[in-house]
Amino acid sequence: MSGIAGFVGRETPATLRIRVVEDMVQTDAMQRRGPDSQGTVVADERVVLGNTRLRVTDMRNSEADMPMQSADGMLTLTFNGEIYNHLDLRRLCPDYHFRTKSDAESLLAIYQRHGLDMLSMLEGMFAFCLHDRSARRTLLAVDPTGQKPLYYTLGAGDELYFASDIETILRIPHLNFSWDREGLAQAAGIMFVFGPHTHIREIKKLEAGCCLVVEQGERPRHRRYHKIVIGDELQQDVTAITERIRDAVAAGCTRCFDLEIPYAYLLSGGIDSSSVVARARRQGLELHTYAIGFPESGLRAAAIMHNEFSYSRLVAEAFGTEHREIEVTSQIYCEAMDRWWSLCCEPNGAPEAVCLFLLLEQIAADGHRVAFCGSGPDEVFDGYSHGHRLKTIPSRLVAGAYFDYFNAVGDIDLGQLMLEVDARAAFISAVQPYLDLYAHDTQDSQQLTCLLDYHGECVVSEYRQIDMASMAHSIEVRIPLADQQVIQSAFSFLPRLKHYEDSEKWIFKQAMSPWLPSTISSRKKIGFPVPQMVYASPEFEARMESSLEPDSGLDKLGLFDMAYLRRAWRERRSRGYDIFYRLHGMDVIARRHSSYLSPKDPPA
């Protein structure tokens, strides 16, 4: 696990860019990502790579630090993530002389043998840049699930800068940046920025399952090397389907469980996290589980969400875990929210991220360097019933209906909030390339909605918050149920089985039921326990009032009708607080990032 950064550019002396990359590696965000080692390597006269490493695999071997070079010096790699099948890849490279046991070196070996074709051979989570001096080629790639971020920008003359964190790029002294109003509108309207865009016009994110190839003297070429394959949508054999899902979950967990350092488990008591714990018990692993929630005494009877401690305790008792609970009050939440937003490099409007941030902070404090979580199945198996709700919508209307149904803006009129930018149109425009990607594979609206959930809410929102929250505490989070086989199994049967007999995620529950207590496998989905009353607390109200002041970050964006927003805040009702949470976060980020958007002098 690491932070990566670098420069790929014209054939000018690399010494002119070494200092820039060295400074990128020194940023606070990069240091948190990799507190154990840091380095910068000149790969050739046009490529400089930097890395900060959190030692997890082959952790006691300094030769596994990065950037890493092949023995002949022809290949240079900066890599973030974990390749779970790296031992299998080594067996495919019998002629390579390995100096470490690290998965990073397995990447070098398999590339040396298979070139760009190696991307389809990797299983795990990753973002990396690999420079091949002999071929005069640089490859940047992100895994098919997009768990690890890679942001990039093109400077003058097609110079490419990249990093694991947006703010690391924003700090480059000679590059100019501006707000992406359509991206900001998406973040305000539906919580995240879909596709390759960010809230900064000049900075893009490399999408899941995509790569950039930079050949000598050419512009970077963007290529998608992976997409979900839609299987037989008429398959209704429940026994065969559930066996395939169960086998995929078991294999995904086994791949992730190969560790040499202390680890823990996030346990909400839902079916996903409980399935991971159940599999770990079957494999005889140590079980340190953690749950977080709000005390029952602090919740109103009408609260939409509540803590799930009774369920997580049941699972902990069933599998004999060493279990710890963390209680959160409104004051604790808002204080943690301040720290969370101060670290976020892009708008991410999921309010449960603050609880995740607190949970991982405690796990790290207890000495764990790796944590396992159960994210992933909700989106692909329709755990939120989004696909079920839109199953009768014509496929050509899915994008707009998705925005209308799931934007969580309460009574706010987005047209009045943002007079000059249409958030709905911006979202539809960003989503359309993904619908086009699967246009010849399925026209089932429930299936398409699950695909949008996956590429958007899961990859862009949930996995990004997991990455930012974990890296804030220098801890690695592994997501066994994000395994490609698990994801693929969710799109290989009749879509209606995802929501069946009035049960969301029905087929996944059937698959996991042999592993779990019946109370867990049959329970209804309730989401993460962040009660709406937290946003009605005096602590949150004080913070939101600051965001509504003249000359606040929101005001200076020039995107919002602040008079309308102030009125909407005063007249708010019991629902729709989510948009105020994400607007407050946008305000904090805008205040911090605005200083980087002033015009800068060109490099000397």
Q: What is the pLDDT of residue 603?
A: 56
Bridge partners, 503 (sequence order): 500
Place of tokens 């909030």: 417
- Comparing 297 with 36, which gets the higher pLDDT? 36
Is residue 516 domain-resident?
A: yes
266 is in an annotated binding site: yes
Spatial contact of 164 and 33, defined as CB atoms under 8 Å apart: yes
Q: What is the pLDDT of residue 14?
A: 67
Specify the pairing of strand 204-205 against strand 210-215: unpaired
Which residue among 504, 531, 558 closes a domain?
Answer: 531
Q: State pTM to two decimals.
A: 0.95
Longest distance between any two alpha carbons in the chain, whole Å: 70
Is residue 567 domain-resident?
A: yes
Question: Could you tell me the residue range of the domain that residue 336 belongs to?
Answer: 238-378+462-531
555 is in an annotated binding site: no
Q: What is the pLDDT of residue 530?
A: 73
525 and 539 part of one domain: no
User: How far, in Å, CA of 409 to CA of 580, rounded?
Assistant: 8
Which residue among 172, 197, 224 closes a domain?
Answer: 224
CA 597 to chain centre: 25
In this structure, what CATH number is given to the domain that contains residue 56?
Answer: 3.60.20.10
Is residue 318 domain-resident?
A: yes
190 and 259 part of one domain: no
Q: What is the pLDDT of residue 302?
A: 42
Q: What is the pLDDT of residue 304?
A: 46
Confidence category of residue 529, pLDDT binned at 50, 70, 90: low
185 and 307 part of one domain: no
Confidence category of residue 513, pLDDT binned at 50, 70, 90: very high
Q: What is the pLDDT of residue 242?
A: 98
Place of tokens 């696909």: 387
**Per-residue model confidence as pLDDT tens digits over 207-257:** 999 999 999 878 899 999 999 999 999 999 999 999 999 999 999 999 999
Encode burial over 271-310: b for 16+ CB neighbours within 10 A, e otherwise: bbbbbbbbbbbeeebebbbbbbbbeeebbeeebbbbbbbe
212 and 103 part of one domain: yes
481 and 356 part of one domain: yes
Q: What is the pLDDT of residue 213?
A: 97
CA nearest neighbour of 103 among 64, 61, 131: 64
Q: Is the confidence at residue 148, as pLDDT, over 90?
A: yes
Spatial contact of 410 and 575, defined as CB atoms under 8 Å apart: yes
Spatial contact of 77 and 129, defined as CB atoms under 8 Å apart: yes
Q: What is the pLDDT of residue 261?
A: 74
Task: Say which residues have a Cβ less than 8 Å from residue 237's Cβ, sequence separation at least 6.
Answer: none
- Work out the average pLDDT over 448-474: 96
Is residue 522 domain-resident?
A: yes
79 and 196 part of one domain: yes
**Per-residue model confidence as pLDDT tens digits over 15-61:** 778 999 999 999 999 999 988 889 999 999 899 999 999 988 776 77
190 is in an annotated binding site: no
**Per-residue model confidence as pLDDT tens digits over 81-135:** 999 999 999 999 998 989 999 999 999 999 999 999 999 999 999 999 999 999 9
Is residue 456 domain-resident?
A: no
CA nearest neighbour of 56 among 76, 75, 30, 84: 84
Is residue 413 domain-resident?
A: no
The percent of residues above 70 in pLDDT, for the chain, comes to 95
Q: What is the pLDDT of residue 299?
A: 47
Domain count, the chain: 3
Q: Is the confidence at residue 574, as pLDDT, over 70?
A: no
Place of tokens 């989070």: 477
Is residue 267 domain-resident?
A: yes
245 and 371 part of one domain: yes
Query: What count of other Cβ atoms lies within 10 Å of the Cβ of residue 94?
Result: 8
**Per-residue model confidence as pLDDT tens digits over 386-397:** 999 999 999 999
User: How far, in Å, CA of 158 to CA of 124, rounded?
Assistant: 31
Beginning with the edge strand found earlier in the chain, give each strand of the sheet holding 322-327 in spatial order. 322-327, 288-293, 263-266, 370-372, 476-478
Confidence category of residue 527, pLDDT binned at 50, 70, 90: low
519 and 555 part of one domain: no
117 and 169 part of one domain: yes
Q: What is the pLDDT of residue 303?
A: 41
Quick one: tokens of 451? 């695909």
User: How far, in Å, CA of 97 to CA of 81, rounded?
Assistant: 23
Which residue among 224, 256, 280 closes a domain?
Answer: 224
Beginning with the edge strand found earlier in the chain, give each strand of the sheet holding 2-8 in spatial order. 37-44, 47-53, 2-8, 160-163, 151-154, 204-205
Place of tokens 């009708």: 561
The secondary structure of residue 524, as a DSSP letter, is P
43 and 114 part of one domain: yes
Burial class (CB in 10 A: 0-12, 13-18, 19+), 120: exposed
Phi, psi torsion values for 600, nearest 5 degrees: -125, 160
Is residue 433 domain-resident?
A: no
14 and 56 part of one domain: yes
- Work out the average pLDDT over 547-557: 96
The percent of residues above 90 in pLDDT, for the chain, comes to 81
Spatial contact of 445 and 390, defined as CB atoms under 8 Å apart: yes
Averaged pLDDT of the chain:
92
Q: What is the 3-state secondary structure (H, E, C) of 31-62?
A: HHHCECEEEEEEEECCEEEEEEECCCCCCCCH
Query: What count of other Cβ atoms lies within 10 Å of the Cβ of residue 592?
Result: 16
168 and 25 part of one domain: yes
In this structure, what CATH number is given to the domain that contains residue 497?
Answer: 3.40.50.620
**Per-residue model confidence as pLDDT tens digits over 175-205:** 999 999 999 999 999 999 999 999 999 999 9
Query: What count of other Cβ atoms lies within 10 Å of the Cβ of residue 399?
Result: 23
